Amino acid sequence: MCTLNVDKRIVRGRRAFLDLNRKGSKDRLLPLSPTVDELLELHVRDRTAGPLLLDASGQRLDRHDVDRMLTRLGKRAGVLPGRDLTPHVLRASRITHMIDAKEPLAEIQAFADHADPATTIGYFTRRNAGERNARLVDDTEALFTQITARWTRH
């Protein structure tokens, strides 16, 4: 988004989009929520050309600026103590929330714009690792209970 110019915000009917070129030179129309679009309109004001996102001095924001701002805001809000809040963390969090909401894999893959389903499945694997490991420990505990009962009878 940092590389976009104002003219890459497109309005179709009641919905606004950003016309992006994503990693791997993939073109994508990214739908904006009404609130995000309203905030973007306030930021752009009357500008009809030039960078979409500007800093306080009128210079184009870059991805490092966004990382620094999110980290600062995350620390102020107490989000992820001891870790930096970055765009990637926000993206991974959204994908994780979709997993928790039991969204279909295909929907999550489309949202994440993953070409390979294995990339999306990796999020499932990491997300469910704790639950899976706890279940395995509980299953093992059941085995130990039977074994310790044999030793404690005597």
Residues 71/84, Cβ–Cβ less than 8 Å: yes
- Chain-wide mean pLDDT for the chain? 87
Got the DSSP string for 70-105?
Answer: HHHHHHHHT-STTS---HHHHHHHHHHHHHHTT--H
pLDDT tens-place string over residues 114-128: 888 899 988 888 777
Counted domains in the chain? 2
Tell whether 52 is covered by a domain.
Answer: yes
Tell whether 116 is covered by a domain.
Answer: yes
Residue type for position 137? V
| pLDDT at 47 (0 to 100) | 94
Task: State which residues form the domain around 30.
Answer: 1-61
Q: Are residues 89 and 128 in the same domain?
A: yes
Q: Are residues 99 and 143 in the same domain?
A: yes
Tell whether 16 is covered by a domain.
Answer: yes
Buried b (16+ CB within 10 A) or exposed e, 5-22: ebebbeeeeeebbbebee
Tell whether 47 is covered by a domain.
Answer: yes
Tell whether 34 is covered by a domain.
Answer: yes
Tell whether 7 is covered by a domain.
Answer: yes
Q: What is the mean pLDDT of residues 120-145?
A: 77
Q: What is the pTM of this model?
A: 0.69
Residues 40/32, Cβ–Cβ less than 8 Å: yes
Tell whether 100 is covered by a domain.
Answer: yes
Tell whether 129 is covered by a domain.
Answer: yes
